[in-house]
Structure 1
Amino acid sequence: MQTTPLSPEDPAELGGFELLGRIGHGGMGQVYLGESPGGEPAAVKVIKASVVDSEARLRFAQETEILKTIWGPRIAAFLDADPEAERPWLATEYVDGPDLRKHITTHGPLPSVLVASLGATLAEALAAVHKQGLVHRDLKPANLLLGPNGPKIIDFGLAVFTETGATLTAPNTVMGTPACMSPEQANGIKPHDSPVDVYALGAVLLYAATGHYPHQADNVHVLFHMITDRSKEPDLTGAPEELVPLLAAMLAYAPADRPALPEVVQQCRVIIEAQGMKVAQARRRLTTFTAPGPSARAAAEAPTEPVPQEPPAPTLPLETSAPAVYTPTVKVDDPAPADQGQPPAPTPLKPKRPAAPAPLRHSVQARKVAQQLRETYAQSAAF
């Protein structure tokens, strides 16, 4: 993930986390690359001073409690937080990789088998979130990080509890990202339930396969009209034929017409297996394909070939007429006497030492780099 230098007004430390650089920002706050006292990398999210009010603190506190509640291999783990600080902050696991939006913008759409793998992985993760009584409510490509161990879901700031329908928004207030928003969410219908995330996942998979969303418009009001108009079918142009039935079902206008997440997982498995791959193979290829660097992508795009097996060593039958061959045992430190005419004993081979591992980058080095970045920024900044 790309990191930019800290500015002079950025804090150097928050809650014990040393801040090393900026890794993202939004309308509500800034995200920094941080490091715990023990050297654990972290993404530290801070609310902007200009938007810190009672409602922002409540929303931040809700996100903190949600992250304490949920867990799973596809969820960026909660580390620490202080919603009551002068500038509320939240630290989560740092995922070293681009978000899906940036990857598609840079490299183009994913092959259909990898889109299906992404769908199976995320549908399974969202199903686990729903079992914990939560709905993400803002799933989008920018909230999916493609890390070295596979995709991870971030930003549960708009998540809601499905059991109570608890929300911090007013009855007719619409919260979320319009491009991936379901019709009922755009219409302000509450409470939100699991079909909201099914629709958003369908929009994400369509974007991963084609580079565009179900509905697109330059004007946000026109976009909302397209989403809420039942007669406007989602644009599936460019989607691979094998993905169209699943995407069309996930992007259905009525929530009841959308498949449940376990069904999405099964349909993605069918698509993967129809292309001659196992689900685990497809997941490994997805992770390799989205890893930084052209060599990793080339390896992922290469066709899968069976690994050649060495032929088994020949074995003699239990009963054979061939004479037995006697091989004398000679001690290395006991050379044969010269009068026997035997060659000298072979010198034993010394075992090769394993190559030393590459030195790890220590916290001291990270701090030096961060200081250099700060100095570079200070020299070029106009203040």
Structure 2
Amino acid sequence: MQITPLNPEDPPSLGDFELLGRIGQGGMGQVFLGESLGGEPAAVKVIKPSIVDSESRGRFAQEIEVLKTIWGPRIAAFLGADPEAEQPWLATEYVDGPDLARHVKTHGPLPSVLTAALGAVLAEALSAVHTQGLLHRDLKPANILLGPNGPKVIDFGLAAFTESHVSLTAPHQIVGTPICMAPEQAAGVKPLTAAVDVYALGASLLFAATGHYPHEAATPYMVFHLVTDPDTAPDLSDTPGELLPLLTAMLAQNAQDRPSLTEVVQQCRSVIENQGMKIAQARRRLTAHTAGQRRKGAPADAPSLPPPAPVPASNTETNTAPAAQDVSAPSLSDSPAPSPTVVEIVPDLSDPSVQDSSESTAPTREDPSDESCRAQPAPDRAPTVSRRPPPGTHTLRHSPQARRTAERLRATYAASAPF
């Protein structure tokens, strides 16, 4: 994951988390790499000052309450938050690895046995979320991080309690990302069921195995039309034969025709075992494969700095960092996917929003692309590489990872310096 230095206007710390650099940005705010007093790395999300109002604080507080109820080894852990701060913030576990979207764009589709291993891991994780009375509602490759200890699911900002009809969004909006959205979700059906996450997982696995989504078009409106049209079948071209029956079922138009998550796990196991492998072995190979692909290319988390800008007459050392590109905590250096951008919707038309939306059809404004949670371009300005809290405040010890990042920054700066 690419990390760029802080900008001059960025806060040096939030709560007990010292901010070390920028990870990316999305529709609602900026995501920073932070570190706790005990040296625990964290992804710290901050709402943009321009949209901080009572409604955005309410949505943010709802996301925090949802995260407090979710746990599991494949879920990025909640670490802390303050929705009432001047700059509302939320800290979750930092997963050091690219998201699935970025990995596939960079290295190509996963082999079928590893796609099946990914499906089994994620289906089991989602099943645990459903047991806690929640739906994710926005699962997509950008929200699946391929960390050093295996994949993890992030971004429960659109999660909803399965037994609750309460929403802080407008009553006629659609929530989710259209290229991974189930037909009933796109049509505004209520209440939603676990089948929407099964469909989204199927769309994500199709992308993992083929590099494309079930429905793709030039605009979000056109994608919505394809998703909700019962006569338009999902594009399953290039799907490996051993995965075709499972993905066909998961992407069924009718929710009741899709398998349960338990059935998904079982069918993924069958695919793996039919290739002479055990599930645990396939899971280890998945993690080794994604980590190995990372090592073959340029380090995903290595900051890339151009020659330094002139040093101003102050005690603050600065240089110019490149804009971080497309990716969610949460994959910042690829070009945007050809799939449609995500926009917010109101009655009569059909454009979705990655971060903020809810239930209906007609675009009002565009958000960044569906891979946006952590990867929209960072402002191209001179960032601060050395900022410290005011005198009298605590000084944090940096973790080995933070020290390595700082060393790379210093080495890059020194190599390009004219003296």
Residues 366 and 52 of structure 1, relative CA distance in 2, 3 Å threshold:
farther
- Inter-partner Cα distance in structure 2 for 1:132 and 1:157: 16
Deviation at 1:170, TM superposition (A): 2.4
Indicate yes or no: 2:43 matched with 1:69: no
Q: Give the 3-state SS of the residue equivalent to 2:31 in structure 1.
A: strand
5+ long unaligned stretches in structure 1: 298-359
Cα deviation, 1:193-213, whole Å, max 9, x if unaligned, reads: 100100000000000000000
- Inter-partner Cα distance in structure 1 for 2:170 and 2:294: 47
Residues 223 and 363 of structure 1, relative CA distance in 2, 3 Å threshold:
closer
- Inter-partner Cα distance in structure 2 for 1:141 and 1:276: 27
Deviation at 1:361, TM superposition (A): 5.7
Which residue is 2:161 aligned to?
A: 161
Indicate yes or no: 2:106 matched with 1:106: yes
Which residue is 1:60 aligned to?
A: 60
5+ long unaligned stretches in structure 2: 298-397
Deviation at 1:363, TM superposition (A): 8.4
Q: Which amino acid aligns with 2:14?
A: L
Which residue is 1:199 aligned to?
A: 199
User: CA contact under 8 A between 2:39 and 2:399: conserved in structure 1?
Assistant: no
Q: Which amino acid aligns with 2:227?
A: I
- Higher mean alpha-carbon deviation, 143-152 vs 56-65, is at 56-65
Which residue is 2:226 aligned to?
A: 226
Deviation at 1:291, TM superposition (A): 0.8
- Inter-partner Cα distance in structure 1 for 2:142 and 2:294: 22
Which residue is 1:330 aligned to?
A: none
Residues 366 and 276 of structure 1, relative CA distance in 2, 3 Å threshold:
closer
- Inter-partner Cα distance in structure 2 for 1:118 and 1:363: 26
Q: Which amino acid aligns with 2:135?
A: V
| Correspondence 1:189-338 to 2 at 5 A | 189-291=189-291, 293=293
Cα deviation, 1:42-94, whole Å, max 9, x if unaligned, reads: 11011111111222111111111111111000000000000111111000111
User: CA contact under 8 A between 2:102 and 2:142: conserved in structure 1?
Assistant: yes
Q: Give the 3-state SS of the residue equivalent to 2:33 in structure 1.
A: strand
Residues 361 and 167 of structure 1, relative CA distance in 2, 3 Å threshold:
closer
Q: Which amino acid aligns with 2:255?
A: P
- Inter-partner Cα distance in structure 2 for 1:63 and 1:369: 35
User: CA contact under 8 A between 1:20 and 1:370: conserved in structure 2?
Assistant: no
Deviation at 1:189, TM superposition (A): 1.3
Q: Which amino acid aligns with 1:235?
A: D
User: CA contact under 8 A between 2:195 and 2:258: conserved in structure 1?
Assistant: yes
User: CA contact under 8 A between 1:145 and 1:152: conserved in structure 2?
Assistant: yes
Q: Give the 3-state SS of the residue equivalent to 2:44 in structure 1.
A: strand
Which residue is 1:12 aligned to?
A: 12
Q: Which amino acid aligns with 1:255?
A: A
| Correspondence 1:121-136 to 2 at 5 A | 121-136=121-136
- Inter-partner Cα distance in structure 2 for 1:361 and 1:191: 44
User: CA contact under 8 A between 1:30 and 1:47: conserved in structure 2?
Assistant: yes
Cα deviation, 1:169-198, whole Å, max 9, x if unaligned, reads: 223201111110010111111222100100
User: CA contact under 8 A between 1:39 and 1:363: conserved in structure 2?
Assistant: no
Q: Give the 3-state SS of the residue equivalent to 1:24 in structure 2.
A: strand
Q: Give the 3-state SS of the residue equivalent to 2:253 in structure 1.
A: coil
User: CA contact under 8 A between 1:63 and 1:158: conserved in structure 2?
Assistant: yes
- Inter-partner Cα distance in structure 2 for 1:24 and 1:42: 13
Indicate yes or no: 2:9 matched with 1:25: no
Rg larger for: 1
Deviation at 1:41, TM superposition (A): 0.5
Q: Which amino acid aligns with 2:33?
A: L
Residues 362 and 284 of structure 1, relative CA distance in 2, 3 Å threshold:
closer
| TM-score calculated relative to the size of structure 1 | 0.78
Q: Which amino acid aligns with 1:72?
A: G
User: CA contact under 8 A between 2:70 and 2:129: conserved in structure 1?
Assistant: yes
Deviation at 1:165, TM superposition (A): 2.8
- Inter-partner Cα distance in structure 1 for 2:132 and 2:255: 20
| TM-score calculated relative to the size of structure 2 | 0.72
Indicate yes or no: 2:89 matched with 1:85: no
User: CA contact under 8 A between 1:174 and 1:188: conserved in structure 2?
Assistant: yes
RMSD: 2.3
Indicate yes or no: 2:60 matched with 1:51: no
Q: Give the 3-state SS of the residue equivalent to 1:118 in structure 2.
A: helix
